Structure 1
């Protein structure tokens, strides 16, 4: 194990090429999907371990695309076993973490029934960048043969093949509508046209309420039946000029050109009632579904696609928090959604927050930059003070900033 460097000897967060490769797949913070869940399930079945993960690693965290055997959805990179897998750029096996000096004081090891066994394999892109890992984890010490490690490496290749294929696909295999990537590429054209002509454009985002309960009760076949029916109902309720896409899992979005806020809200309500009235003959007990909707209208002089989608998502999350099965329009003002889209650049860069008279630092991931501010992701925004310094590791730039918006895992900063 001594060949694996310690975290102090590398700075994965500063690896701009690796983060650019991760950004290319546009998978961070997307919903769970059966293809990756099945791979995690195979890890548990083959190796008879308690926990199986398919993860992505950005500048400050390890995020779980698929996770079986844990309720966590992400961990800070500094707490993860996979930081060593990333540092070594090769598979890592830890037979008993309590006897390994690198992990024996890790909180996931010292906790009651903590981790003992770990095996992790990097997810490597075609251009040799590591974007994540596939892991087998258990609370009991155990050995891991060369054959078992070879199987885990093959499963890592399966994950990467799935990711690479998704980059090529334009139509979702289940519903037939645009994939997340294809939807966003086409939606950019709609937005550019609306901005050029200063015309109306609205976005509606929606997802199926409590979809996991459908899958749990009726299996993935039942869930697939619901998603297909939702798609057909949405297509029936939209105009031919509208653009519909599946963003992942049970999440969808529609771009409505030449539609103001009132027209978009009317469309959302039309779809909501249509979904609520769907029948699924043969299901016992009968399947009934509802959906929550977020509506936002483009400000052609200020918004780009990312910012108007952010508005709609914020409205959607508010609808879900306030009881679900409702449509809400975005109402608010955030730096990210009023920044000039000419200046606002979507990025994935390593960042560091400095505060407490430079005595405290915290790694973060910079998701967008503009002339007077930034959007960053952090593990826990709650304890970060109002005034900070943001440093971008790869470029050496830094800005004094104040926090103007706090979300569960992100902050918006205003410079100066």
Structure 2
């Protein structure tokens, strides 16, 4: 046990960690945009140490830093682990006089933190991924205007994180693509096995996207893709994950719901898509989807086991006439 008080855990910790993973920035290299934000922050506040820190389950990792030799620290040592619990700037005028930190190795040894101020890096959903922090080896105070300025700089850093995330999304649907799905899906798979909670995978295809493109044009096809994705989002919970795998192929990873609930959701989506209005509304054309559903089994070793099983179920749905959800399960 650490010889200093335990860090507080945010109420949204599980989803906060999910959001952090889904930004795809952990262990990534810094770049000139983050470096410029740090240079600006250091010039404004005049501190020898500035950093953009991301707080994972068991470590604090620095996406960008000035004045620090290390790239990460254990979470229990991180002052930022305390700062992410708050939505406002956290200021520690003198860490040696603060009972939370006086026995912390980062305070009584290198880098000898005395003053700390951290502004949370908050997502649009209200989850604090980490902080933009300024650190000094001498006690200091921070006035209201300086706190607000640090908060605004943290928003600027968060904007850069968001731009990085958007660069990896499908430009038509705004969904992650296959590569990201495989990476995030594997993490959810491992989490579900570790925590022994349910996990379902629905793969579905737009049955007649090619016909839409040929009859009404690709702009109409793109609008259909956008409309279907917006509709699908209404069926999902924050912890779920959606991705576009191909032209008209999508994946929905459903976290924490049982088999019957997942099947009801999948068929509800199928029914809703069939009533979705579009450019084809005044014709005899009807938009439909075919889907393949499976759930996590004790014998599954990797996410690919679910993908293979859901893919086989999807082929069954297509072979049986389309506009239906087929399911394949491994085990009872």
**TM-score, normalization by structure 2:** 0.50
The structure carrying a bigger strand percent of its residues is 1
Larger Rg: 2
The structure carrying a bigger helix percent of its residues is 2
